[in-house]
Amino acid sequence: MLNSQTGARELAYVCQVLKIEPMVGYDNLELATINGWTCVVGKGDFHVGDFGIYFEIDSKLPEVEPFTNSAAIVKYHFKIKTQKFGRGGIKYISQGLLMHPREFGWKEIKEENKETYLIGERGEQFYLGDFLTQTLGITYYEPEDNARKAKPADKYKLMCARHQNLFKKYKFFRWLYSKIWGKKLLFVFLGKKRDKRQSWPAWVSKTDEERVQNQPWRFPGDDTEWIATEKIDGSSSTFTMRQAKPKKRKLLVCSRNVVFDKPDAKCFYETNIYTEMAEKYDIERVLNYILDTCLNLEFITIQGEIYGGNIQKRKYGDEHKLAIFNIITKFKDKEPTRYNPVHMHEFIDSINNKLGTHLEGVPVINEHFKLPETCEELLEIANGKSVIDGGMREGLVFRSQDGSDSFKAVSNDFLLKYHS
């Protein structure tokens, strides 16, 4: 679930059980529904309306109690993935882990005419929807995700790391460091240029899309028409530039969360695929051209998925390629505009024709898609073949006609094959 405050994905949170269903062929198991997710639980462990602690797929649990008390968790090396259950020709999908508050020593408090909440061992109060990712020490099970989600090192912490003895020996330095102005003063004398890191550009929104399972309110669908595009299994990238005099403009190349302020900066992969794509598709010339022709444009941002080669488990061929899924512009005195996929492709074609570049957009599957009655139906539609190479596609991304609203539906078949 996306955290609306930070834009980051949360892997653990307080939830409420919406439905409990029996599982044919399983005497000791039931299927619980949390938002749009279905999760296998022990029979009788939960009832409709109960609060629980839910861990989304892609989670890596810490190897501590109460997680070590579960043989199933230990068996799967503390990783939470999509699993398939089925007997007698009936298939069940379990996504995520649902644990009872009592396993953590927490209690569910229900008071008349008051909001239900959980109370922790030390008296902390947790309400429905509260995020627990950091509280419980949950990380991603894929090393790449943890690398790209990690926050850049703080320049003041880097400064302290180089002067550990100084801060240990003198209380005055520790006192100065405790003050905002003191940190700045210390950095004047002790800081170095290499301590500084390019911060994430404030004008750019990060690229995580919310999964449809976390938006059950979208169903049943109405007559609203969405534009469906193929979701590609790759690594998200951002290229952005602000308006300024040509010699003062600066291209910022980013992964999902990290800004690469040097061409040779290291990333998770063997080579820096983000700067590689900037060069391959001549992104700096493209963005400069757009800013040159639109002088009242404050910034231009291109976001895309890098795929192929050694990126992810789904192979699209040996060559690294970039498929653009977002073009965002901001004109003076106006709000930023995100192109819908159809207009985005038209814009890309016009740039290619004028500059001789070979930018590509994500494949458009349906320009007039209407949501079905249920989330389960949409997830079935997300299954299918990739337009790129005819193999299994990761899923679909849906964007409103005005480009302002979007979400994704990831194929369960894809998850079972590549992430289980």
What are 238-266's pLDDT values in tens digits?
Answer: 999 999 998 899 999 998 878 886 655 66
Q: For residue range 16-68, what is the model confidence (pLDDT) as tens digits? A: 999 999 999 999 999 999 999 999 999 999 999 999 999 999 999 999 999 99
Q: Is the pLDDT of residue 224 over 70?
A: yes
Is the pTM above the cut of 0.85? no
The reported pLDDT for the residue numbered 150 is 47
- Measured CA to CA in angstroms, residue 331 lies from 269, 296, 297, 299, 335 at distances of 35, 6, 4, 8, 7
Residues 187, 191, 195, CA angle at the centre, nearest 5°?
A: 120
Reading the block at residue 5, the tokens are 């405050």
Q: For residue range 123-146, what is the model confidence (pLDDT) as tens digits? A: 999 999 999 999 999 999 876 666
209 touches 287 (CB < 8 A): no
Reading the block at residue 16, the tokens are 């409420």
The reported pLDDT for the residue numbered 389 is 96
Q: How far is it, in rounded angstroms, from Cα 270 to Cα 249?
A: 29
Domains of the chain with CATH codes: 12-141 (2.40.50), 155-195 (no CATH), 212-418 (3.30.470.30)
Average pLDDT, the chain: 90
Closest to 57 (Cα-Cα) out of 101, 116, 16, 12: 12
Query: Which of the pair, 167 or 21, is modelled with greater confidence?
Result: 21
Q: Is the pLDDT of residue 195 over 60?
A: no
Strand spans (E) along 35-124: 37-42, 51-55, 59-60, 82-87, 90-95, 97-99, 107-109, 117-119
Q: Is the pLDDT of residue 395 over 70?
A: yes
Query: Which of the pair, 204 or 370, is modelled with greater confidence?
Result: 370
Q: Is the pLDDT of residue 153 over 60?
A: no
Q: How many CA atoms lie within 13 A of 210 on its CB side?
A: 18
Q: How far is it, in rounded angstroms, from Cα 257 to Cα 236?
A: 9
Query: Which of the pair, 279 or 266, is modelled with greater confidence?
Result: 279
Q: How many CA atoms lie within 13 A of 30 on its CB side?
A: 15
The reported pLDDT for the residue numbered 12 is 97
Q: Is the pLDDT of residue 165 over 90?
A: no
- Measured CA to CA in angstroms, residue 150 lies from 145, 268, 273, 319 at distances of 8, 11, 18, 27
